[in-house]
Structure 1
Amino acid sequence: MHAAAGGGRKVTTFRFDANLKWLFTELEFEARFDAAAAAGFAGVEFPSPYGYAAPVLRRRLRDAGLTQVLINTPMGAPGTPTRSGLACIPGLDGEFRAGVERGLEYATALDCELLHVVGGIVPDGVGRDRAFACYVANIAWAAEQAREAGVRIVLEAQNKRDCPGFVLQSQEQAAAVAEAVGGDQVGLLLDFYHLQIDEGDLIRTYRRFQERVWHLQVADPPGRHEPGTGEIGWRAVLRAVAESGYPGWIGCEYAPAGETVAGLDWVRRFRGAAA
C-alpha cells in the first residue's frame, strides 16, 4: 500500500504494515498473514511472537511474501507489574536482559530490523528518578547487544490515559534517551495515537524529532480505530510525513471499527496526502 509522489516536491512513498495483534482478528493468528497480503500489505508487525517457534513464523512470512517489520521485547501478563515492559523496574535486570536476548534471537530469525524495547510502568514504592535511571542503564545495555546482533532498537512514549505510570513521559524524553545512549543504534517509535492524547501538536512534534523517528504507528483517538474515525487531521499529518522524506514503515495499530478489510478504505482516501 503506497502513496505516490506528485508535483515537483520530493516526497516519500508510504509503506503501511499490518499489526496482526489488532487487524484481521476475525481470523486465527496464523491465517492473518495471508489475509494481510491479500489486502495489499507488504509488511506486518506484532508485539509478541514468543508463543510460536521462530521457524513457523518465518515460514508464514515467506509463504505470504511479507516482511517482518517490528516486534517487542517480552512483557508480563495483563495485571502484573511487568505488563508494559521490564526496562524501568529495579531488581529485574536478569529477567530484562534475558528478554532482550530472546527478542534479538527472534528478530534475527525473522529478518526483522527493529526491536521495540518496551519501557514499563514505574512500580509502586519506587521513585520515578530511580526507575528512570534503571531504564536508561538497561537501554544502554540493550543497545550494545542489538549492535552485535545487527538489529536496531526503538523506544516509545505511551500515553498516560491508557498506560498510567509509564516510564517515558514525552517524545522529548524518549528522544533524549535515544540520543544519550544509542547513537545510531536507538531510535523512536512514534505513535500518533499516543502523541495526540498526551501532547498534541502532531506535525510540529514529528518534524522536531523526525531524524530520530524510525517507525510510525497510526490510530485515531478517542476510539483507537482506523484513521478518519476520530479527531486527527490525517491528510495534513500524512502530507508532513511524506514531505519529510520519511523512509520507514507506518504500522496500522488500531482496532477496526468494523470488519478489517472494509475499514481499510481510509488508505485509499488518504493516499493523495503525499501528492
Structure 2
Amino acid sequence: MPRCAANLSLMYAELPFLARFGAAARDGFRAVEYLFPYAYAAEELAQQLAQHGLQQVLFNAPAGGGNLAEMAQAWEAGRRGSLCISGEETHFREGVWQALHYAQVLGCPRIHVMAGLVPHTLAREALVSTAHENLRWAAQAAADVGVEVLVAPINGRDMPGYFLQTQDQAHSLVQTVAAPNLKVQMNLYHCQVMEGDVATKLRTYLPTGRVGHIQVAGVPEGHEPDGGELHYPYLFDLIDALGYSGWVGCAYRPRHGTSQGLGWMAHPACRMG
C-alpha cells in the first residue's frame, strides 16, 4: 500500500516552516519531503526529524547558486536548476555536493536534481549531451554515499520552458545514463496536465523499476487529491496492484487548513508510513 509523505513546502503553510514537522507528525505522518532545505542548517532539520519521529524521504538539490547563501535564495530568484545548462557545470556540482551533505545528515535516501529552463536562443536537443554528462557525474557522486538521484518532468503550463516536460523525456535520460541509482520522480499532477492517460503511464513505467518516487495533487488546481480530473482512489489501487513500494509525496496546496483537508486519506490504499 502506498506510503504518504507530507510535503512541508506546500502543506501546513499556515505555520512557520520548522513548526510544520510537528504538525505533520501530530496528523499521523511518518515521513516528509520539501523543496529545499538550504535556508536552515542540516543539523537543525535533523533535530526536527528526530524529535517528531519523522523520516526525510526527498528534497531538491539547489535550483542554482555558487554558495550556500545563493542556493538558499535561488528558487525565489527564478532559478530552476542547471542540469542541462552548458557553462553551469561548476555550480551544478557544487549544488549536488551540498545536497548530498544534507542528505547524509538528514538520512535522506534520494535527492531530486532540477533540470533547468531551456535558454530562448537554443533548441532543447542542444542541451541533451550536457544533461547526460551532468547526470553521469551526479549519479556516481551520489552512489558513493548511497543516495539516489531523481529527475522529474514538470508541465509547461506551470513552468514554461522547463527542460523535462514528459515522462518519456525523463525516462530517456535515465535509460541513456544507465546508472542504477538514477530514477524518475513521477508527479501525477504534472503528468495529467502535460500528457494525460495517467493510468497507462503508471502501467508503462512502474514495472520498469525506474520510478523512484511518486507525488500527487488534484488537477487542475493543485489542491487535495479528492476531486478534479483525476480519480485518485482508482490510481492508488492501481499503484498498489503494480507493486510500487516507495513513497507518495503529498505535493499539493491545501484548499483551507492542512489538517482539515486530510479526509481523502481514508481510502484503504493510503497510509502515512
Asked if Structure 1 and Structure 2 have the same fold, meaning a TM-score greater than 0.5 normalized by the shorter chain, the answer is yes
CA RMSD of aligned residues (A): 1.5
Query: 2:246 maps to what in 1?
Result: 248
* Alignment-derived partner of residue 81 in structure 2: 85
What is the DSSP-based 3-state SS (H/G/I as helix, E as strand, rest coil) of the residue aligned with 1:216? strand
How far off is 1:164 after superposition? 1.1
Structure 1 partner of 2:220: 222
Q: Which residue of 1 aligns with 2:177?
A: 181
What's the offset of the Cα at 1:79? 6.9
SS in 2 for 1:214: strand
Look up the match of 1:131.
Answer: 127
Aligned partner of 1:4 in structure 2 is: none
User: Cα distance, 1:149 vs. partner?
Assistant: 1.4
The CA distance in 1 between the partners of 2:227 and 2:190, in whole Å, is: 16
Q: Distance in 2 between matches of 1:201 and 1:221?
A: 13
Corresponding residue for residue 34 of structure 1: 22
User: Once the two structures are superposed, what CA deviation does each residue of 1:164-215 show, in whole Å capped at 9, x if it has no partner?
Assistant: 1111131012112112214311011000000000111111111111121110
Deviation at 1:69, TM superposition (A): 0.4
For structure 2, the 5+ residue unaligned runs are 65-73
1:264 to 248, 262, 265: 262
CA contact (8 A) 1:217 1:250 kept: yes
Work out which of the residue numbers 30, 35, 48 in structure 2 matches 1:60.
Answer: 48
Counterpart pick for 2:151 among 149, 155, 158? 155
Q: Tell me the SS of whatever aligns to 2:142.
A: helix
Q: What is the deviation of 1:272? A: 5.1
Q: Distance in 2 between matches of 1:194 and 1:154?
A: 15
Provide closer, same or farther for how the CA distance between residues 272 and 100 of structure 1 changes in structure 2, counting only shifts above 3 A: closer
* Contact 1:238–1:273 (Cα < 8 Å) also in 2: yes
Q: Percent identity?
A: 39
Report the equivalent of 1:5: none
1:195 aligns with 2:191: yes
> Among 73, 96, 100, which residue is 2:61 paired with?
73
Question: Match for residue 8 of structure 2?
Answer: 20
In structure 2, how many angstroms separate the alpha carbons of the residues matched to 1:273 and 1:65? Answer: 19
User: How many Å separate the matches in 2 of 1:118 and 1:137?
Assistant: 15
Unaligned runs of 5+ in 1: 1-12
SS of corresponding position for 1:44: strand
SS at match of 1:115: strand
| Deviations 1:129-166 (CA, angstroms, capped at 9, x unpaired) | 22222112111111110111110111100101011111
Match of residue 231 from structure 1: 229
Matched-pair contact (CA < 8 Å) for 1:236–1:273: no
Q: TM-score, normalised by structure 2?
A: 0.92
The DSSP-based 3-state class of the residue aligned with 2:18 is helix
- Is 1:207 paired with 2:195? no
In 2, the alpha carbon distance for the partners of 1:79 and 1:105 equals: 22
3-state DSSP class of the match of 1:259?
coil
How far is 1:27 from its partner? 0.7
- Is 1:172 the counterpart of 2:159? The answer is no
Give the length in aligned residue pairs: 260
Give TM-score scaled by structure 1 length: 0.91
**Equivalent residue for 2:70?**
none
C-alpha distance in 1, partners of 2:5/2:270?
18
Within 2, Cα distance between the matches of 1:161 and 1:151? 31
1:44 pairs with one of 8, 23, 32: 32
Aligned residue identity for 1:48: F
Match of 2:56, SS state, is strand
CA gap 1:235/1:80 in 2 versus in 1, 3 angstroms: same
Distance 2:4 2:107 in 1: 18
Q: CA shift at 1:127, angstroms?
A: 2.5
